[in-house]
């Protein structure tokens, strides 16, 4: 039986996990066949998006003009998201998932990205403004409309998906622009392709710290989060070498989410 539904019914583990969300995240690699966490719920913080123009040493990934820095995932096909009002938007009319990734690959980086779920609320929980920023193609920083929209806390906006909830909920109402500022440290592999160091990520959501050099315990959407020298990143069809630099990937989850002002500084 999945342990978290048991938690929701008040199993004895509840007090322990409620007091120690990081312990819960750390335990994910060992205990679960259902990786969702429901408590504690991150406190709300009233904050507003930070709009920072790219500094002089940034790689501009999207300035509203074109999608030249992007392509469809694991493909040579050009990115096909909709360009409108200096933003790019998941093209829901396409039907099939069209997640996109950068043509360039990156190791450690600082990333600024702004995003906005569609203001027309058309679902609840994970079905409301769902997208995602896959760091190194593998590790999802969740994008979701988390304004008055409860879901499992390691699946809300700012979560390292199915791993670590955000420290607080700094979400804005749907339709407003929001910002993530991200510092990502890529995993390191040794000459024998063994893992030397996991990935770490620091995230500010609308200027508020929500992930503080959080250890990423492995790739999203594996049975349990794990690292591998050869892996199959999100929306890839085949294994690839995951020991070096990797693209940045934006998720098409079939819901209308827009992005703008995306720039990155290699570290």
- Please report, as ranges, the residues that interact with Mg ion according to CB under 5 A: 130, 132
Residue nearest to Mg ion (CB): 132
- Per the CB < 8 A criterion, the answer to whether 163 and 37 are in contact is no
- Size (the chain), residues: 267
- Per the CB < 8 A criterion, the answer to whether 151 and 126 are in contact is yes
Which residue, 52 or 97, is less far from Mg ion as judged by CB? Answer: 97
Which residue, 130 or 169, is less far from Mg ion as judged by CB? Answer: 130
Instruction: Quote the radius of gyration of the chain (alpha carbons, Å).
Output: 18
Which residue, 58 or 203, is less far from Mg ion as judged by CB? Answer: 203
The distance of closest approach from Cβ of residue 266 to Mg ion in the complex, given in angstroms and rounded to an integer, is 25
The distance of closest approach from Cβ of residue 78 to Mg ion in the complex, given in angstroms and rounded to an integer, is 23
The distance of closest approach from Cβ of residue 99 to Mg ion in the complex, given in angstroms and rounded to an integer, is 10
The distance of closest approach from Cβ of residue 251 to Mg ion in the complex, given in angstroms and rounded to an integer, is 5
Which residue, 154 or 243, is less far from Mg ion as judged by CB? Answer: 154
3-state SS record for 124-179: CHHHCCCEEEEECCCEEEEECCCCCCCCCHHHCCCCECCCECCCEECCCCCCCCEE
What separation in angstroms does the CA of 167 have from each of 40, 116, 207, 212?
10, 21, 13, 8
């Amino acid at each position: 039986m999945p342990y978290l539904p048991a938690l929701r019914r008040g199993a004895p583990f509840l007090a322990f996990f409620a007091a120690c969300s990081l312990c819960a995240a750390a335990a994910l690699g060992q205990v679960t066949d259902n990786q969702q966490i429901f408590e504690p719920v991150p406190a709300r913080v009233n904050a507003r998006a930070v709009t920072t123009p790219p500094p002089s040493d940034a790689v501009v990934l999207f300035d509203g003009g074109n999608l030249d820095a992007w392509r469809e995932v694991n493909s040579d096909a050009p990115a096909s998201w909709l360009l409108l009002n200096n933003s790019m938007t998941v093209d829901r009319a396409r039907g099939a998932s069209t997640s996109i990734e950068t043509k360039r690959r990156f190791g450690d980086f600082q990333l600024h990205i702004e995003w906005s779920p569609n203001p027309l609320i058309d679902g609840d929980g994970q079905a409301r403004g769902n997208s995602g920023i896959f760091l190194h193609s593998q590790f999802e920083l969740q994008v979701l409309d988390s304004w008055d929209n409860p879901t499992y806390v390691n699946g809300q906006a700012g979560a390292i998906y199915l791993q670590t909830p955000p420290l607080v909920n700094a979400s804005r109402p749907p339709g407003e622009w929001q910002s993530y500022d991200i510092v990502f440290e890529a995993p390191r592999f040794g000459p024998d392709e063994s893992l030397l160091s996991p990935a770490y990520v620091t995230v500010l959501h609308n200027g508020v710290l929500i992930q503080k050099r959080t250890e990423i315990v492995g790739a999203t959407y594996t049975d349990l989060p794990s690292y591998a020298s050869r892996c199959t990143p999100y929306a890839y069809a085949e294994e690839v070498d995951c020991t070096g630099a990797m693209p940045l990937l934006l998720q098409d989850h079939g819901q209308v989410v827009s992005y703008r002002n995306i720039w990155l500084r290699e570290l």
